[in-house]
Amino acid sequence: MQILISILQIIIVLVQIGVLVGVVLLHVAYATYFERKIIGHMQVRMGPMIVGWHGLLQPIADGIKSFFKEDIVPEQADKPLFLAAPIVCLVAMMVSLAVLPFAKGWALSDINIGLLFVFAMSSLASYGIILAGWASNSKFTLLGGMRSMAQVISYEISLGLSLVGVMMLSGSLNLTEIVEAQGSSFFGMYLFTQPVAFFVFFIAMLAETNRVPFDLPEAETELVSGYCTEYSGMRYAMFFMAEYIGMFVMASIGVVCFMGGWNGPFNVPFLPPIWFILKVYLIIFLFIWIRATIPRYRYDQLMAIGWKLLIPLALGNIFLTGLAKIVIN
Amino acid sequence: MNKATTFNIPVSAGDEDHYRLRMGPQHPATHGVLRVDLDLDGETILECDPRVGYLHRGFEKLAEHRTYVQNLVLTDRLDYMSAMANNVGYSEAVEKLLAIGVPLRAKYLRTMVCEMARLASHLLWLATHALDIGAMTVFLYCFREREELLELFAELCGARLTTTYTRLGGVRQDVTHSFMMRLERFVDAFPACIEEYETLIDTNRIWLKRTVNVGTVSAEDAVSLCLTGGSLRGSGVDYDVRKHFPYAAYDRLDFEIPLGETGDTYARYRCRMEEMRQSNYILRQCIEQMPPGPIVGDDAPDLVMPNKPGRKVEVDTPARQALIKLVEDRDTFMEGDVYVPTEVPKGELGFYFISDGNGHPYRMHIRSPSFIHIGALKTLAKGAMVADLIAIIGTLDVVLGECDR
State residue B4's pLDDT score: 46
State residue A225's pLDDT score: 72
A212 in contact with B, Cβ within 8 Å? yes
CB A144 within 8 A of CB A83: no
Count how many pairs of residues, chain A against chain B, have C-beta atoms within 8 Å: 89
What's the CA angle centered on B208, arms B205 and B209, to 5 degrees? 85
State residue B304's pLDDT score: 43
B208 in contact with A, Cβ within 8 Å? no
Look at residues B404, B401, B322 and name the one whose alpha carbon lies nearest to residue B161.
Answer: B401
Q: Chain B contacts of A301, Cβ < 8 Å?
A: 209
Distance from CA of B389 to the nearest CA of A (A): 9
Contact B206 A213 (CB under 8 A): yes
Contact A298 B210 (CB under 8 A): yes
State residue B9's pLDDT score: 54
B269 in contact with A, Cβ within 8 Å? no
State residue B7's pLDDT score: 47
What phi, psi does B167 have (nearest 5°)? Answer: -130, 160
Where in B174-281 does DSSP place strands (E)? none
Radius of gyration of chain B (CA): 22
Could you list the mean pLDDT of each consecutive 10-residue stretch along chain A, which spans 329 residues? 86 86 85 88 85 85 86 82 87 86 78 85 82 83 81 84 85 81 75 84 85 72 74 84 87 86 73 82 89 84 86 89 85
Contact A75 B2 (CB under 8 A): yes
Distance from CA of A288 to the nearest CA of B (A): 12
The CA distance from B139 to B29, in Å, is: 13
Q: CB under 8 Å to B222, separation ≥6 — which residues?
A: B231, B232, B234, B235, B237, B263
Positions in chain B whose pLDDT score sits under 50: 1-7, 304-309, 311, 313, 315, 330
Distance from CA of A295 to the nearest CA of B (A): 4
What global pTM score does this model have?
0.84
B21 in contact with A, Cβ within 8 Å? yes
Contact B137 A42 (CB under 8 A): yes
Contact B201 A295 (CB under 8 A): yes
